[in-house]
A and B are shown apart, each in its own frame.
Chain A
Amino acid sequence: MNSHSDIQKLLSPYSGNDISSHDRILVEEHLESCPDCRSELTDLQTTLKLLRTTPEIEPPPWLTTHIMANVREQRELKTSWVKRIFFPLYIKLPIEGLALIFVCMTGYYLTQRVETELQQPASEKVDKIFAVPPPVTIPPPPAKQSKTTAPISPSKELPDVSVPKAAEQPVAVGKPAASPAFAPSPAAIRENADFLGAQDNRSMVEPHRSASKTESFSLSSDAPDMNKKAARGVDKHPDVSEAADTANRTGAPPIAVTPTQLTIRMNVTATTEAFLLIREAVIRSGGAIIHEPPAASSRVTARIPLNRVAELFINLGKIGKIVEQPHYSNRSGTAEVNIVW
């Protein structure tokens, strides 16, 4: 620590009086015997003196003015922003009060509406979607009136509400596409919706349209006989009776709906287990067995949504060879499938 280079390092703190007393003694002892260090110290002290006595520059006279002008501008900006929101009170307060009332009323209305919707069960919502307009009481037509227009036509697509010939005939089985009388009722649609989980929008909209058409028929005063026939048809088919019950519950007019009859013939190898396999295929296709065959019978009747008949074909094809595959055009509603093997 007492070497020349070490002492030289201490000269700078020594010149600035930033040195400990111990180091100070060491430096002073060394300086007595080292002229180079004394010269170095003199130069350092001179430099330090120059630094400390450097004259300071003066700020320009406009500096304070400029600074304060900017500061006041900043303050004005801040204040005016506050003023824009809260002042003048005699204008702002009424507007803000009205806005508050409006917001509260809107909130109350929305809350009430949400509560009403929550109180309705989910099934009613489905009914709402396919809701038929409320029943219209039609006064009995005059005896000799050949054509009467319904007071309210649910479907604007049908300007002429006279009953088509197909509808005048008794409920035909096996020709669903040709006659609107075979269109599914809202109850059947709901059943479909339950089956499908409302996944196919097309298949849900089309029956609605058909239902409207059917309804227009029932509203027509020209077809009182048709209504009676349709009512008779309801007795024959449990599906239709269910639809009629639903229609009675919802207040809609009774609708005659008959499931499509289809027949599938197939050859199976495992005849003993055929029924079990076919039943499983029907269930997998979203259908249900409605008539269980007696023992040793090779015929079963199942009910299945029409839009899943193709899936039934595929499932049955895994069991055996389909000999006779029916053709059908209507993709909505239900079908009664007779499977013969």
Chain B
Amino acid sequence: MQIILPDRSVRTLSRTSAPIEEILLELGINPTTVIVVKNGKVVPEDVTAGEDDEIRVLRFSHGG
């Protein structure tokens, strides 16, 4: 699966399937501070991502 991180860098993970929340925590990202977009759709972090999925992680700026 492909993970597009908030800084727009791309990581390819070789795992077959895992809850997105688990992947975020492994990457050192607190799930409450980001929004997850799986294959173009916003999803809750407890949804599982599979081998062919693209996960985009959006971090929002504070203030405003």
Instruction: Report if A and B associate in a common complex.
Output: no
Residues of B within 8 A of A (CB): none
A interface residues, Cβ below 8 angstroms from B: none
